[in-house]
Structure 1
Amino acid sequence: MSKIPVGISTCLLGGEVRHDGGHKHSRYCTQVLSRYFDFRSICPELEAGLGVPRPAIHLREVDDGLKLVEVKGGEDHTAAVHAFIDQVMPALGDLRGYILMAKSPSCGMERIKVHNADGNVTRRDGRGMFAEALIREYPLMPVEEEGRLNDDQLRENFIERVFAYDDWMQNVAGDRLTPQALIEFHTRHKFQLLAHSEKIYRQLGPMLGDLKSEPLVDIAGRYIHRFMAAMTQRVSRGSHVNAMQHLMGYLRDVLEDEERRVLLEQIDAYHRGEVPLIVPMTLLRMAQRREPIDYLSRQHYLSPYPDDLGLRNRI
């Protein structure tokens, strides 16, 4: 399997590019995710010409907008960083996700301090200048901060979204868009949609009911925006139980009575928080593999990402 192109802040790969000449090496990224992700690293501040080491900068809100200025001295680097962003942003369209460095005035995804003209903090809900441009330019692209990947659910959700978005980009987007490609994508991800948002799941099916009512590219655009919005929602245990029970309905003719009883026991145990998701899911996959059902064999919900990432062992 070819690796998935994913952007990342350079310091997370161990690059000594921070303002103090240090790094924020993420071993999870370099030792685990690198097995499946082809990382493309960017440090906006360094590549905008600020150098290493460099004075610390912060976001400062003035009458004409947000600025990136030095904490001491107040030198304004906004124009240089904007120029780099304008140059690099068109080249990022092939990425399937992005992992950003938290708390950075250029790369931070959320909760960034914003200062006034006097250098005092006025709010803590800002977003780094590069991160803001990235999310605005590519609203479908899964974006996450490295620190939040320590949360089991957030990590699993981000990686699941990256693999789903990669499927869209490889098989549906651009000149690959056909009615069949769109319907097949929806079919592959039905149970994922059901788990993430039953409301959106029930909206997207009818959207594809008449693909001749308007230009296909318009339908596909609305579809993928709703799909990715659904995928950002955390899946509750109850929603996973609902999806697994639907899956069991397709296996009713191949499950022996004792096998069905054990599977239901483990689904209930998962619902109570006694076992991780991998336990009932493994039983479902074993039943499907023993007597394959074509419709289920296409469902990415059963294996949304490589097993050795171990993500469902922890949720």
Structure 2
Amino acid sequence: MDTAEKIPVGISACLLGMEVRHDGGHKHSRYCTGVLAKHFSFRSLCPEMGSGLSTPRKALRLIEQGDQLRMVTTDGLRDHTDLMMDFVDRTLPALDSLRGFILMAKSPSCGMERVKVYREDGELMHRDAAGLFAAGLKQAYPLMPIEEAGRLNDDSLRENFIERVFLYDDWCQLVAGGLTPQRLIDFHSRHKFQLLAHCQRTYRELGPMLANLKARPLEEIANDYIHAVMEAMKKQVSRGAHVNTLQHMAGFLREGLSQEDRTLINEQIDAYLREDVPLIVPMTLLRGALRKVDQPYLQAQRYLNPYPDSLGLRNRV
């Protein structure tokens, strides 16, 4: 893909193989550089280097001081919190073009979750904090898909993150092109079956929200809408939810297909439910059926093509 066609995604610099860690090393993610880089245009940063620290440097950790988290060296001699927060405040406004972010786990700056927090005397208190940069990123961009590199080794988490990045990119393009009632309705229409798969409750709630776009200012409705969508998309799709969605789509094609085609599709949906085949098998049959049946509503559904096939994600779920 041409760089201009790739989706802009932020990433911790060490994951690209840059030697920016406290020990002068890196945490190169070959999946990010070898697979995702074909589709994502990565913008790398290292908050610790960006805040003025050198490499190698003293290792850092978070300590709880009153009701505040502080980032200090492990020997407790230097407090770099103010430097880090200055970097965060300066950097976050320039990240609004990004459609997602991949972070380095457990880092006191980049860890998305499960970061250790210590007492001032060095005793471990808990493991449920976010790094200072990661916390600022989540607060500034609540809609942006964020994930840790290590969690991308999990098939379901990887598929979920990448699906959200592509959907968020679609939303950002809508906003950049100008929000209108029709464009909002069109966005909802093409992502309907994704919503159905991820969260039936949100799927049912959003229809009435968009039924009367004159009830409130359009920007207000759109803001409530996309927050609900992105929250629903965080939920991993169960096998049963995929089956329900596949069967729902197959119902739209019932009249235009032969009995043989309908039977084959249903057999492979059942095989997927039994875990005999991956999701890509019944999905491919449905996509093939759409070449035989003129069904524009289904053809527009991003559920069938949420991201490039070359990523191979539905071969693993």
TM bracket, shorter-chain basis: over 0.9
Change (3 A) 1:233 1:42: same
In 1, Cα distance between equivalents of 2:180 and 2:122 = 53
| Residue 101 of structure 2 is aligned to residue 98 of structure 1 | yes
- Residue 53 of structure 1 is matched in structure 2 by 56
Alignment of 1:195-210 (within 5 A): 195-210=197-212
Consecutive unaligned residues of structure 2, counting only runs of 5 or more, are none
Q: CA offsets per residue over residues 167-218 of structure 1, 9 Å max, x none?
A: 00002x2561100110000001000000000110000011000000110000
- Residue 141 of structure 2 is matched in structure 1 by 138
| Cα drift, residue 127 of structure 1 | 0.7
Aligned length: 314
Contact 2:7 2:169 in 1 (8 A): yes
| Cα drift, residue 269 of structure 1 | 0.8
Aligned residues: CA RMSD: 0.9
TM-score normalised over the length of structure 2: 0.97
Alignment of 1:190-269 (within 5 A): 190-269=192-271
- Residue 182 of structure 2 is matched in structure 1 by 180
TM-score normalised over the length of structure 1: 0.98
In 2, Cα distance between equivalents of 1:150 and 1:3 = 22
User: Structure 2: which amino acid aligns with 1:89?
Assistant: L
- Residue 72 of structure 1 is matched in structure 2 by 75
| Cα drift, residue 290 of structure 1 | 2.8
In 2, Cα distance between equivalents of 1:115 and 1:238 = 42
In 1, Cα distance between equivalents of 2:12 and 2:256 = 48
| Cα drift, residue 297 of structure 1 | 1.2
Alignment of 1:264-279 (within 5 A): 264-279=266-281
User: Structure 1: which amino acid aligns with 2:186?
Assistant: E
In 1, Cα distance between equivalents of 2:67 and 2:257 = 66
1:24 paired residue among 16, 24, 27: 27
In 1, Cα distance between equivalents of 2:178 and 2:300 = 19
Consecutive unaligned residues of structure 1, counting only runs of 5 or more, are none
In 1, Cα distance between equivalents of 2:193 and 2:29 = 32
In 1, Cα distance between equivalents of 2:58 and 2:185 = 52
In 1, Cα distance between equivalents of 2:276 and 2:282 = 11
| Cα drift, residue 64 of structure 1 | 5.1
- Residue 166 of structure 2 is matched in structure 1 by 163
User: Residue 211 of structure 2: SS of its match in structure 1?
Assistant: coil
| Percent of aligned pairs sharing the same letter | 62
In 2, Cα distance between equivalents of 1:289 and 1:227 = 29
| Cα drift, residue 227 of structure 1 | 0.4
In 1, Cα distance between equivalents of 2:50 and 2:305 = 38
